Amino acid sequence: MRINLKISHKGLILVSVPLIFELAFVVLLVHMLNQADQVARREARSKQIVAEASELSKAIIDAGFSLITWQYYRNKPDLLKRYAQEVGEVPGILQRLDTLTSNNARQREHVNKLRLYATSVLSLFERYGRRPIDLSGVIPSLISINDFRQQMELTYAPLLSEAKLLAGEEQEAQRVDPDAEERSKSAVRTLIMVGVIFNILLTIAMALFFSRSITRRLGLLGDNALRLAKKEPLHEPFRGSDEIASLDQVFRQMASDLSDSDQRKQEFVNMITHDLRTPLSSIQGNLSLVTEGHYGELSEKAQERLTIAEKNVTRLINLINELLDIERIEAGMLNLNRGNASLLSLIEEAVVSIRDFAEQKKISIVVPNTDQEIFVDSVRIVQVLVNILSNSIKFSPSEGQITIKFESKQNSVSISIVDQGPGIAPEDLDRVFDRFQQAQSSTKTKFVGSGLGLAICKAIIEAHQGRIGVSSVLNQGSTFWFELPVDKSNA
């Protein structure tokens, strides 16, 4: 049975499983570190016991010799002081041995015997140290010292034997497993390495397992977005109930709503353009007849009003044509009728179309001299030139100049239209070819326009596999340019 997990659940599993392993790994690692630490502490304690037992033997021997020397040289108090110092070290050594052997019965038994033997030796030292000074001569003193030495050897021998026995047992215990500490450290290092590698592999495997379906479906969802933009059929709906399946459902509902909205918009635009363009064309024709005097003479004021009305009707018809062009572009129905054409003739045709507009503002247009042939849709390229020239005239000052420049490149031709207008602010340059954006948006003057002309220009040039752009400096004018390929293979 297939389990449909949500992405949040998959993420929780992806995080929790490695985390649980890491916790178990840490517990095991701490246990092994404790074992290694115990081995190290046990070895160190064993060495310290041996050292303390040797120190005890040495302290007692040194104290005995110091006492003998003091008895022989009674007039040297430093010897007695050294004896007292050496005897004073014995309780501290025994105390440290007690501490070191507190958890081991065998070692504790040895220490108790050492304490007993040490007490016997110290008692001997005390008795000998309290003996009166023999002033009868050197020979009696030597006899007394010799007697003390014999008694000391008898009393010290069990202590020395017990100390050697304790040291021997501890050294034997160290020899039984001399590499225990190193093995513990090696085991810890191996565990760390294996644990890290296993955790990485586990995380990668789980990430691949959970992300494979997620990335595949996200890829399909992204491809659906591209298909929607190209108006192509979408992929099959996703199965399941996770977040991606829900997102796919929302996306499909949005696509359906957009399709319905686009359909209604197209129907509305088609209806409006058809129902408006026909009567507007009739109105424009009648207005032309009236202004030309076919229906009698008009007063100067009437002539002026009718001329304004005719211009407004012309502007409405141009707006309707632009809306139709935009609809064709969005629907992918912008068909090009390409053929060889003279670039100069196309420029001159565009200039003739806007000559009246330019003369009203007394603007001169400089046309380049070129015999370049290009393979384009002549009607559409003239439309591009007319739109850009009209835009430049609109924003140019009276009695200004517009220059059309031509440049031939290796596989393309470039046409630039330079005006003397107010320029475009840098933050607006990226938006001038967007729909419903006016090119010279930085100027304070508001010009009438649909904001579709430059968007249509961009679509026409890109349909020719060309490029279009603009450069501008505030208060110094703007340069609109476009490039067209000259190779027919690009058509």
> What's the pLDDT score for residue 432?
85
> What's the pLDDT score for residue 273?
65
User: Which residues of the chain carry a pLDDT beneath 50?
Assistant: 1-3, 132-143, 440-446
> What's the pLDDT score for residue 182?
67
Q: How many domains does the chain have?
A: 3
Statement to judge: residues 322 and 404 lie in one domain: no
> What's the pLDDT score for residue 413?
92
Residue 226 in domain: no
Output b/e per residue, 93-122; b: 16+ Cβ within 10 A.
Answer: bbebbeebbeeeeebeebbebbbebbeebb
Structural contact between residues 413 and 407, judged by C-beta atoms closer than 8 angstroms? yes
**432: closest CA among 471, 464, 398, 393?**
471
Statement to judge: residues 25 and 162 lie in one domain: yes
Residue 162 in domain: yes
Residue 213 in domain: no
Compute how many other C-beta atoms are within 10 angstroms of the C-beta atom of residue 250: 10
> What's the pLDDT score for residue 302?
79
Statement to judge: residues 115 and 140 lie in one domain: yes
Residue 318 in domain: yes
> What's the pLDDT score for residue 388?
92
**347: closest CA among 235, 484, 207, 246?**
484
Statement to judge: residues 366 and 443 lie in one domain: yes
Structural contact between residues 409 and 371, judged by C-beta atoms closer than 8 angstroms? no
Statement to judge: residues 56 and 180 lie in one domain: yes
Statement to judge: residues 322 and 392 lie in one domain: no
> What's the pLDDT score for residue 1?
41
Statement to judge: residues 388 and 321 lie in one domain: no
Separation between Cα atoms, residue 170 and residue 180, nearest integer Å: 15
Statement to judge: residues 343 and 307 lie in one domain: no
Statement to judge: residues 270 and 410 lie in one domain: no
Domain boundary (260, 293, 328) is at 328
> What's the pLDDT score for residue 470?
92
> What's the pLDDT score for residue 87?
86
Residue 237 in domain: no
Q: Which residues have C-beta within 8 Å of that of residue 347, sequence separation ≥ 6?
A: 367, 368, 385, 404, 415
Write out the DSSP string of 438-490. -TTTTSSSPPP--S-HHHHHHHHHHHTT-EEEEEEETTTEEEEEEEEE--GGG
Residue 210 in domain: no
- Kindly state the tokens that stand for 422: 């107010």
Statement to judge: residues 350 and 483 lie in one domain: yes
- Confirm whether pTM is higher than 0.75: no
Q: Which residues have C-beta within 8 Å of that of residue 332, sequence separation ≥ 6?
A: 231
Residue 238 in domain: no
CATH of the domain at 468: 3.30.565.10
Structural contact between residues 156 and 63, judged by C-beta atoms closer than 8 angstroms? no
Statement to judge: residues 176 and 273 lie in one domain: no
Domain boundary (160, 190, 220) is at 190
> What's the pLDDT score for residue 136?
44
Partners of 91 in the beta sheet?
none
CATH of the domain at 15: 1.20.1420
**67: closest CA among 56, 57, 82, 52?**
82
Domain boundary (174, 190, 206) is at 190
Statement to judge: residues 90 and 168 lie in one domain: yes
Domain that holds residue 344: 335-490
Q: Which residue type occupies 72? A: Y
Sign of CA dihedral 352, 354, 360, 365: negative
Partners of 479 in the beta sheet?
418, 471
Residue 29 in domain: yes
Separation between Cα atoms, residue 23 and residue 128, nearest integer Å: 67
> 3-class SS at 467?
strand
